[in-house]
């Protein structure tokens, strides 16, 4: 992709996300919402334990993330991010935009040792096709169900494929009564410090 | 929607489907493919019985269909179909187009008593986001898994909400070695013969 050289860095991510979104094969979001809902309901029925459902969603997400990132890298041709804040920009404005058609608000949390030794960022969701029209029964809230937990796994799996170990965690959840839904992604470590060969 | 009065009936459905597709909220198809795959794998793991997995997919589909049709009717403002062949046109060219971004080939099978007392139609799939990149293990083929079974349920559920009882059945399946995937929809009966009040 080529953008006019005057384009600001932040705007470049947005344009890249828009472009990728336009070029991708798409399906109706409501169908996706309902299919994901059917999956969660099935897990709740099968496991009868919300913590176990969370684990399963996370595991499924991981497997999906590992697959999705290949396609994403192939389609974007993106080089390795220079730092963790660039990871945040790419995730919010290119990945979420092109896959789920939303752009969560991005908040950077630079590393501040010793209280926070590693950099992190938060994705704040005003909208989310996974949770559209969803209301959790009281029992599920009390049981600790994190409905959109699959996202944590997707991010962890995808990042691992680019040699980056992260923790991804929904730290507040509108479905559980919080004011907003916030997913916080914290760098754990780079799994391989060398630059990948080629592509320079 | 208004189309030029010269537009042929068949083309009207296509235009309506295109228009609806453009106006709907959309997400990336591959994400949907992988999420559906995760659902099927989960069911296989839980039930360890392919027939039971088929039943569950069908049941989930039914629940999704019952929900999707509301949105579909609201967005299209379509009146009741005059006959079953119009149901086929609407399903193939408007519903599949707007929800899954595909237009299966439609083949009408008019009623021919006594061998076939009721009208039917077939949807032939050249492509299908549900089954993209999917290959069934031999065991699943032998066990009778119908991977896209959820579609049968979706159609049955949706049609029931417009007072029409149908049988929807994948009668040949490319994933199971058939040359093509064909979903046959047969009218069972109208659940309520009276015209709905209003909307004339």
Give me the pLDDT at residue B22, please. Answer: 86
Residue B92: band (very low, low, confident or very high) from pLDDT cuts 50, 70, 90? very high
In the beta sheet, which residues pair with residue A120? A109, A186
Q: What percent of chain A has pLDDT over 90?
A: 72
CB-based contact, B29 to chain A, within 8 Å: yes
- Which of B17, B23, B28 to mutate to probe the A interface, most A CBs <10 Å? B28
- Residue A117, min C-alpha distance to chain B (Å): 33
CATH number of B10-18+27-190: 3.30.1380.20
Residue A118: band (very low, low, confident or very high) from pLDDT cuts 50, 70, 90? very high
| A31 → closest Cβ in B38, B42, B68 | B68
Residue A197: band (very low, low, confident or very high) from pLDDT cuts 50, 70, 90? low
Exposed e or buried b per residue across A26-54, where buried means at least 16 C-beta atoms within 10 angstroms of its C-beta = bbbbbbbbbbbbbbbebbbebeeebeebb
The ipTM is 0.85
- Cα torsion at A79, A80, A86, A89 (round to 10°)? 50
Residue B197: band (very low, low, confident or very high) from pLDDT cuts 50, 70, 90? low
Give me the pLDDT at residue A148, please. Answer: 97
Chain A residues with CB inside 8 Å of B28's CB? 24-26, 98-101
Per-residue pLDDT tens digits for A23-46: 888 999 999 999 999 889 989 988
Chain A residues with CB inside 8 Å of B76's CB? none
Phi/psi for B122 (5° steps) reads: -115, 145
CATH number of A10-190: 3.30.1380.20
Residue B200: band (very low, low, confident or very high) from pLDDT cuts 50, 70, 90? very low
CB–CB contact A30 B100 (8 Å): no
Copy the structure tokens of residue B46: 């839980």
Chain A residues with CB inside 8 Å of B63's CB? 34, 38
CB-based contact, A36 to chain B, within 8 Å: yes
């Amino acid at each position: 992709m080529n953008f006019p050289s005057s384009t600001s860095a932040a705007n470049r991510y947005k344009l890249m996300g828009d472009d990728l979104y336009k070029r991708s094969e798409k399906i109706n979001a409501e169908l996706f919402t309902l299919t994901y809902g059917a999956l969660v309901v099935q897990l709740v029925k099968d496991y009868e334990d919300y913590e176990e459902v969370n684990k399963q969603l996370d595991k499924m997400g991981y497997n999906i993330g590992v697959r999705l990132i290949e396609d994403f890298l192939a389609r974007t041709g993106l080089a390795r991010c220079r730092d963790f804040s660039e990871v945040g920009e790419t995730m919010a404005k290119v990945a979420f935009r092109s896959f789920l058609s939303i752009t969560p608000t991005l908040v950077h949390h630079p590393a501040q040792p010793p209280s926070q030794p590693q950099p992190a960022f938060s994705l704040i969701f005003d909208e989310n096709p996974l949770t559209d029209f969803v209301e959790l029964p009281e029992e599920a809230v009390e049981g600790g169900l994190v409905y959109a937990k699959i996202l944590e796994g997707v991010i962890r799996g995808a990042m691992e494929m680019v040699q980056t170990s992260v923790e991804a965690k929904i730290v507040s959840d509108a479905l559980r009564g919080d004011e907003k839904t916030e997913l916080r992604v914290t760098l754990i470590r780079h799994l391989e410090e060398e630059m990948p060969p080629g592509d320079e």
